């Protein structure tokens, strides 16, 4: 698979990474360990070298799964993980105090079975901790050899500038897709200015862009989409126009909706590396196939023109979740 460099950090990753969250958190019952390990190793065998996890994904269980899976080829992959919640629980609120950053990093190193974390993100900006202190704590970890690169997730422009002045930010991870284009307004221009890479999560709109979700879809118990306003039945019905439009272009190219959505992201900037997640090998192979789909300038213009006529509805997080995440 094509490799990409995240900004001017020198951190080289596969054009498409693998978001591992869904293997143990957020989308219903966790995948059993053997299946999860096989999927991660299958991704590596198919060219994926960029794997994303976090303390908050089942309080380290996801990190442990990833650590076991990549152990045979650890030196050939990039591992990204995150700190930033009390006890690794989103419901308990934010905690980016330097002492917590250090403690979480030490725990992550053990769970991931590694001596160094390639990319350590602040999971969400903590308004109670000065950004300079957060960046300074990560800088100390980098100088100690425990971390290689500093990243941020869902951070705003002011926070990114403050952090970058203390410790260069290698990458920002935020939601970005045909279903959520807010980063185009302020964040993408800032990242280009500062030479910071961009790692879009939920690049398939939490599955919506694939076309597999409609107003009759029933989500599994424990699937957080059951509380997301975007996925309320009436909003799914209203937003179906977007999926249909993606399907028109997919049919034209002889590919799937998911492949169009990922190819569109890859076409935006050469320093963007999306991290679609899945629990199924055939979906993994489908996603990886997007790296071979080339969209022309006419295709991109067609997408932009079509989307400008579609009014998408529904908040991407419920209010209570936005408050806990510092958004």
Per the domain annotation, does 173 fall within a domain? yes
Range of the domain at 69: 3-205+269-293
CB within 8 A of 275, min separation 6: which ones? Answer: 16, 17, 18, 19, 50, 52, 173, 199, 200, 201, 203
Per the domain annotation, does 147 fall within a domain? yes
Per the domain annotation, does 246 fall within a domain? no
Per the domain annotation, does 159 fall within a domain? yes
Per the domain annotation, does 46 fall within a domain? yes
Query: Would residue 33 be called left, alpha or beta, if left means φ above 0 and alpha means ψ between -120 and 50 degrees?
Result: alpha
Per the domain annotation, does 283 fall within a domain? yes
Verify whether residue 27 is a known catalytic residue. no
Per the domain annotation, does 85 fall within a domain? yes
Q: What are phi and psi of 202, to 5 degrees?
A: 50, 50
Beta bridge pairs of residue 5: 12
CA–CA distance, 272 with 122 (Å, rounded to integer): 19
Give me the number of domains the chain comprises: 1
CA–CA distance, 250 with 272 (Å, rounded to integer): 21
pLDDT of residue 326: 40
CATH code where residue 194 lies: 3.20.20.100
Closest listed residue to residue 250, CA positions, set 218, 212, 198: 212
Per residue of the chain (327 residues), what is the pLDDT tens digit? 999 999 999 999 999 999 999 999 988 889 999 999 999 999 999 999 999 999 999 999 999 999 999 999 999 999 999 999 999 999 999 999 999 999 999 999 999 999 999 999 999 999 999 999 999 999 999 999 999 999 999 999 999 999 999 999 999 999 999 999 999 999 999 999 999 999 999 999 999 999 999 989 999 888 889 999 999 999 999 999 999 999 999 999 999 999 999 999 999 999 999 999 999 999 999 999 999 999 999 999 999 998 888 989 999 888 655 544 443
CA distances from 27 to 31, 207, 245 (A): 10, 11, 26
3-state helix/strand/coil string of the chain: CCEEECCCCCCEEECCCEECHHHCCCECCCCCHHHHHHHHHHHHHCCCCEEECCCCCCCCHHHHHHHHHHHHHHHHCEEEEEECEHHHCHHHCECCCHHHHHHHHHHHHHHCCCCCEEEEEECCCCCCCCHHHHHHHHHHHHHCCCEEEEEEECCCHHHHHHHHHHCCEEEEEEECECCECHHHCCHHHHHHHHCCEEEEECCCCCCHHHCCCCCCCCCCCCEHHHHCHHHCHHHHHHHHHHHHHHHHHHHHHCCCHHHHHHHHHHHHCCCECCCCCCCCHHHHHHHHHHHHCCCCHHHHHHHHHHHHCCCCCCCCCCHHHHHHCCC
Catalytic residue among 57, 121, 176, 317: 57
CA–CA distance, 114 with 51 (Å, rounded to integer): 14
Per the domain annotation, does 210 fall within a domain? no
């Amino acid at each position: 698979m094509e490799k990409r460099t995240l900004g001017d950090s020198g951190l080289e990753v596969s054009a498409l990474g693998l978001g591992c969250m869904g293997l143990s958190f957020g989308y219903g019952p966790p995948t059993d360990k053997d299946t999860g390990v096989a999927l991660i190793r299958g991704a590596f065998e198919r060219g994926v070298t960029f794997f994303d996890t976090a303390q908050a994904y089942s309080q380290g269980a996801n990190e442990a799964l990833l650590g076991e899976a990549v152990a045979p080829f650890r030196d050939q992959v990039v591992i990204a993980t995150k700190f930033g919640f009390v006890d690794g629980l989103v419901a308990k609120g934010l905690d980016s105090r330097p002492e917590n950053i250090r403690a979480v990093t030490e725990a992550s190193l053990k769970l991931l079975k590694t001596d160094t974390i390639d990319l350590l993100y602040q999971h969400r900006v903590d308004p109670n901790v000065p950004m300079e202190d957060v960046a300074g704590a990560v800088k100390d970890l980098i100088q100690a050899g425990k971390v290689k690169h500093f990243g941020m997730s869902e951070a705003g422009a002011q926070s990114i500038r403050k952090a970058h002045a203390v410790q260069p930010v290698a990458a920002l991870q935020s939601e970005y897709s045909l279903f959520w284009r807010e980063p185009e307004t302020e964040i993408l221009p800032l990242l280009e200015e500062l030479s910071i890479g961009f790692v879009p999560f939920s690049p398939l709109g939490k599955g919506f862009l694939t076309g597999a979700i409609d107003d009759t879809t029933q989500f599994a118990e424990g699937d957080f989409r059951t509380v997301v306003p975007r996925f309320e039945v009436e909003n799914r019905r209203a937003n179906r126009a977007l999926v249909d439009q993606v399907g028109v272009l997919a049919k034209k190219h002889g590919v799937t909706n998911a492949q169009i959505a990922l190819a569109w992201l890859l076409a935006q900037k050469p320093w963007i590396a999306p991290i679609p997640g899945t629990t199924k090998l055939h979906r993994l192979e489908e996603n990886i196939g997007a790296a071979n789909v080339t969209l022309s300038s006419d295709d991109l213009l067609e997408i932009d023109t079509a989307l400008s006529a579609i009014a998408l509805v529904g908040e991407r997080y419920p209010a209570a979740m936005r408050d806990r995440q510092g958004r």
